[in-house]
A and B are shown apart, each in its own frame.
Chain A
Amino acid sequence: MSEHIVPVKTYAAVFIALICGTLLTTGIAYVDLGTWNTVVALAIAVAKMMLVVLFFMHVKYNRGMTRIVLIAAFFWLGIMICFSLSDELTRHWEYNPLPWTESALLPYISHLLL
Chain B
Amino acid sequence: MWIFLATEILFFGGMFTSYTIYRALHLSAFEAGSHLLEVKFGATNTAILICSSLTMALAIHAAATGKKKSQIVTYLILTMLLGATFLGIKLWFEWHHDYVDGIAPGLNWTYNGPYAPGVQMFMCFYFFMTGLHALHMVIGIGVLTVLTIMAARGRFTEKYYAPLEITGLYWHFVDIVWIFLFPLLYLIGGRYSGGGH
B 160-197 to A, binary, CB cutoff 8 A, 1 in contact else 0: 00100100110011011001101110111011110000
Stretch at the interface among B5-13, B119-127, B135-143: B5-13
Q: Which residues of B (1-37) have their CB < 8 Å from a CB of A?
A: 2-3, 5-6, 9-10, 13-14, 16-18, 20-21, 24-25
Q: Which residues of A contact B176 (CB under 8 A)?
A: 48-49, 52-53
Known: A5-B61, A29-B188, A84-B21. A52 touches B175 (CB 8 A): yes
> Could you tell me the distance between the alpha carbons of A13 and B2 in the complex, rounded to whole angstroms?
25
Q: Is B53 an interface residue (CB 8 A)?
A: yes
Q: Is B50 an interface residue (CB 8 A)?
A: yes
> Could you tell me the distance between the alpha carbons of A84 and B17 in the complex, rounded to whole angstroms?
7
Q: Is A81 an interface residue (CB 8 A)?
A: yes
Identify 28 residue pairs between A and B in the complex whose beta-carbon atoms are under 8 Å apart, listed by A's number: A1-B162, A5-B61, A5-B64, A6-B57, A8-B58, A11-B57, A11-B58, A15-B51, A22-B47, A22-B50, A25-B183, A26-B39, A26-B43, A29-B186, A29-B192, A30-B191, A42-B180, A52-B53, A52-B176, A56-B172, A69-B5, A70-B2, A70-B6, A76-B9, A77-B9, A77-B10, A77-B13, A88-B25
Give the size category of B's interface with A.
35 or more
Q: A25-B182, A73-B6 given. 16 additional CB < 8 A pairs?
A: A1-B162, A1-B165, A29-B187, A32-B193, A37-B188, A45-B182, A55-B57, A56-B172, A57-B168, A69-B5, A69-B6, A73-B5, A76-B6, A81-B13, A84-B18, A88-B25
| CB of A96 to closest CB in B, whole Å | 22
Instruction: Show the binding face of A for B, using Cβ within 8 Å.
Output: 1-2, 5-6, 8, 11-12, 15, 18-19, 22-23, 25-26, 29-32, 37-38, 41-42, 44-45, 48-49, 52-53, 55-57, 65-66, 69-70, 72-74, 76-77, 80-81, 84-85, 88-89
Whether B192 contacts A11 by the Cβ 8 Å rule is no
